[in-house]
Amino acid sequence: MNRRLALPLLLLLLIALYVTGFLGSEKARGPTAEDWKCRPDASVVLRDFHDWREAHRSATIAPEDLAKGIELAAARKQLMAGWIATDPAMALENAVSWSEYEALPAEMKPYFEQPFNTVGSLRVLPICDPSAHSDALRVLEIDGKSWDASVFGRRLGHSTKESAPLAGITLDGRAAVSDVVFEILTPADAKALARLPLGNRDARRDFATGRPLGEQPVTALAGGRRYLFENTETIAAANEKLAQFDETPGPHGGSR
């Protein structure tokens, strides 16, 4: 065989083997999104850990109580891992918040999803196989680290986006990515993240409308920065405008 043809053919063969192997693992991956939603013990798993945590918010936890908490956290982790892979919206809905994650005992944090909100890249490699469970391979990249990514909503139709504001959670090498840019923070989360830089040009005015903030401003997070808004309605409007902007094709099109 001509040596000039040998290398390209070898590369094509390797790519074919990789994709075929991946699709095979997709088909044999196990539980589907519907399986995880219908698990009869899902609400029990979440409730059991919640009840344990509410009863153990003191700084000092007895070793036997901590062991029980880790046991409950491990069961919750299995549930969350399944949701991240098959139903990222459900995973984000049930994820611990920023302040809750920070307050966890150090021994328990490895069992929990970690929130992120920063600038990163979401790479998309389409899969042209109608029998595959996924329409594409997606990889989240942040600061040189990568995670297999699951998306939902508007992001399902997006191609690769580089240097974009991204938010979500990560757990054991996999990520669930939010479908909005501005992440609304609770007062507790806003307090926990007060160290982050403020994105408003004028800290007294709504970032989107320029109107005075009033007495009860709402904090949102995007691209690792805090933004102050007059209310949640202006945040929703800003997210809608950015969603339309993000329909711009190309890796550098959309919100940045």
- For residues 189 and 226, the answer to whether their CB atoms sit within 8 Å is no
pLDDT surpasses 50 at 11: no
The whole-number average pLDDT for the span 101-112 is 97
Does 6 score more than 70 pLDDT? no
The predicted structure's pLDDT at residue 72: 98
Residue 183, both tokens: 């992440």
Answer yes or no: is pLDDT of 22 > 80: no
Q: What is the pLDDT confidence band of residue 18, given thresholds at 50, 70 and 90?
A: very low
Nearest to 242 by CA among 115, 147, 116, 153: 153
Per-residue confidence at 127, pLDDT binned at 50, 70, 90?
A: confident
Which has the higher per-residue pLDDT, 248 or 234? 234
Helix (H) or strand (E) holding 236: helix 232-245
What are the structure tokens assigned to 29, written together? 């991956």
Question: Is the pLDDT at 40 greater than 80, yes or no?
Answer: no
Residue-level pLDDT at 251: 81
Whole-number Å distance between alpha carbons of 189 and 47: 22
- Segment 123-131 shows an average pLDDT of 80
Q: Which residue has the tokens 């088909």?
A: 27
Give the CA distances from residue 34 to residues 120, 129, 189, in Å, rounded to whole numbers and listed in that order.
Answer: 30, 21, 31
User: What pLDDT sits at residue 38?
Assistant: 54
Of 86, 123, 112, 116, whose CA–CA distance to 172 is shortest?
112
Looking at the predicted structure, is the pLDDT value of residue 167 above 80? yes
Q: Is the pLDDT of residue 240 over 50?
A: yes
pLDDT (average), residues 84-98: 98
Q: What is the pLDDT of residues 187-216, one digit of tens each?
A: 999 999 999 999 999 999 999 999 999 999
Q: Which of 56-60, 69-73, 94-98, 215-219 has the lowest mean pLDDT?
A: 56-60
Q: What is the pLDDT of residue 246?
A: 87
Whether the predicted pLDDT of 181 surpasses 90: yes
- Segment 2-27 mean pLDDT: 43
